[in-house]
Amino acid sequence: MKIVVLDGYTENPGDLSWDALGKLGELTVFDRTGSDSSVIRENIGDADIVVTNKTPLTRDIFDTCPNIKAVAVLATGYNVVDYLYAAEKGIPVMNVPAYGTQIVAQYTVAMLLEICSHIAHHDAEVKKGRWEKNLDFCFWDFPMIELAGKTAGIIGLGRIGQATARILRSLGMIVIAHSGHETEEGRAVAQYVDIDTLYAQSDVILLHCPLFPSTEGIINKESIAKMKDGVILINTSRGPLIVEKDLADALNSGKVFAAGVDVVSTEPIRGDNPLLTARNCLITPHVAWAAVEARQRIMDITVDNVKSFLDGQPTNVVNK
């Protein structure tokens, strides 16, 4: 069985091992493939199992690479694969669910705490010599925000949303949530409300919902107008949930006090993205998921997915 990894670098830049996957077949690993269909076809060749992270697998790729028998995605999201067409051709598409619950929740709250406390800024100022020259025993350049007693509104209360809610509750925050599916597990960590109530009551809004047609652009000028003045917005989910020009305008006007985004509409970010020049906008390069422990879980689950396919009982199939 021939196995090809099309874009392995972000999963394993050198601190993990492909050996377990290599034991399952004849393995070829490309650091990067890109989106050029001719390069994708060339790199796939006559592979039986294709492992991808962000390299697109379209209808054309499936038609012109007839040896493909299974696809393993090195992520939870699988929108880069035409999984419906793959199903028509009898090709299972397997993903990696729930590998990053704790680290994404941790990162989400870390972004919020950085906005509230400006730790990196003050560290840099101390190292420039400002503290040793200061007339007083302390200084601060921005308002310090205490989160206890404030309301956090979470849009999307799945595994990551619930993990985030537990951390926020430990900080003394009131947690409300809006989600397409209400569960007992969700009720244990947050109060479910309708979306307009969430906009109106939240001091902090955190996005943990998947990207569907119904959620694309959910943060826009109309929804922002329903929010509290001075709200803080955090997005570690998917970039297209936000209409970025509308958020930039709201940041620059002060309607939104600050935003933290780990994802944007086009990645890598384009130089003309309006958030790059917006006031009080913290941007990181889609790394909330990338702790070594989480990446090892991706590796382990992907190996298990491939094993299960070879055993004739594929697991984590998204296109049954």
Q: In the chain, what are the domains?
A: 2-97+292-310 (3.40.50.720), 101-283 (3.40.50.720)
Catalytic residues: 238, 267, 286
Report CA-CA distances (Å) from 9 to 34, 56, 256: 12, 16, 36
Closest C-alpha to 15, from 299, 292, 289: 292
Report CA-CA distances (Å) from 254 to 207, 250, 281, 311: 20, 6, 11, 57
| Distance separating alpha carbons of residues 238 and 129, to the nearest angstrom | 39
pTM for the full predicted model = 0.93
Residues near 123 by beta carbon (within 8 Å), at least 6 away in sequence: none
CB contact at 8 A, 75 and 94: no
Q: Which two tokens stand for residue 265?
A: 């509409």
Residues near 66 by beta carbon (within 8 Å), at least 6 away in sequence: none
Give pLDDT, residue 243.
98
Q: Which two tokens stand for residue 101?
A: 């619950």
Residue 48, φ and ψ in degrees, nearest 5? -85, -40
Q: pLDDT by residue (tens digit) across 119-147?
A: 999 999 999 999 999 999 999 999 999 99
Compute mean pLDDT per 10 residues along the chain, 320 residues long, and list them: 98 98 98 97 98 98 98 94 98 96 98 98 98 98 97 98 98 97 97 98 97 95 98 97 98 98 97 98 98 98 98 97
| Distance separating alpha carbons of residues 44 and 51, to the nearest angstrom | 10
